[in-house]
């Protein structure tokens, strides 16, 4: 298990949040997805055997949002 934190560009429409959350949740091996609207961050727990932080980054990019930074942290 690892925790991924993605820093996006500024989010302006609340409906983007739902869109991003659902898209990320639909990936295999992803749980506890949180989209922080005001901070422009996406946080999720991932199973590294199934998915990587960069995979999530490209999912979000595909939706049309800029991903500025991807951080993956091993969970004990």
Partner 1 sequence: MTKLNIWISKNQNKMTASIAVLIALSLISDYLLHFETIATVFMIVASIIGAIPVALHAFGALQNKVISIELLVTIAVVGAFIIGEYEESAIVTFLFLFGSYLEQKTLEKTRSSVKSLTKMAPTTAELVNEDGTTETVDVDDLDEGDHVLVKPGGQIPVDGKIIDGIGYMNEASITGESTPVQKSNGDKVFAGSIADNGTITIETTSVGEDTTFGKIIELVEEAQDSQSPAARFIDKFATYYTPAVLIIGILVWIFTQNFPLAITVLVLGCPGALVIGAPVSNVAGIGNGAKNGILMKGGNAVNTFSHVDTLVLDKTGTLTTGKMSVTDIDNFGKDKNEDLALLSAVENTSDHPLGQAIVRHINDLGITDTPKLPELDTVKGQGLVGQNDDFKILVGNERLMKANDVKISDTQRKAINKRMNDGDSVVLMAVDQELRLVVGVNDQLRSDAREGLQALKDAGLRRVVMLTGDNKVAAQRVAQRLPIDEVHAELLPEDKVEFVKKFQEQGSTVAFVGDGINDSPSLATADIGIGMGTGTDVAIETSDIILVKSSFDALAHAYTLSKKTVANTKENIIIAVGTVALLLLGLVVGIIHMGSGMFVHEISILVVIFNAMRLIGNKSSKLDSNQVVSPAN
Backbone angles phi and psi of 5, in degrees to 5: -125, 120
Q: Which of residues 14-73 bind partner 1 (CB under 8 A)?
A: 14-16, 18-19, 22, 34, 36-39, 41, 61-66, 71, 73
State the number of CA atoms in the 13 A half-sphere of 9 facing the CB. Answer: 10
CA–CA gap between residue 69 and residue 26 (Å, rounded): 21
We find the least distance from the C-beta atom of residue 49 to partner 1, in angstroms, to be 22
Our CB check for partner 1 shows the closer of 50 and 71 to be 71
- Work out the number of other CB atoms within 10 angstroms of the CB of residue 57: 18
Q: Which residues bind partner 1 (CB under 8 A)?
A: 5, 10, 12-16, 18-19, 22, 34, 36-39, 41, 61-66, 71, 73
């Amino acid at each position: 298990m690892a925790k991924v934190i993605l820093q996006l560009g500024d989010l302006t429409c609340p409906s983007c949040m739902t869109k991003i959350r659902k898209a990320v949740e639909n990936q295999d091996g992803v749980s506890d997805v949180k989209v922080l609207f005001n901070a422009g961050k996406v946080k999720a727990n991932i199973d590294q055997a199934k998915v990587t932080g960069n995979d999530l980054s490209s999912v979000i990019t595909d939706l049309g949002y800029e991903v500025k930074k991807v951080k993956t942290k091993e969970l004990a």
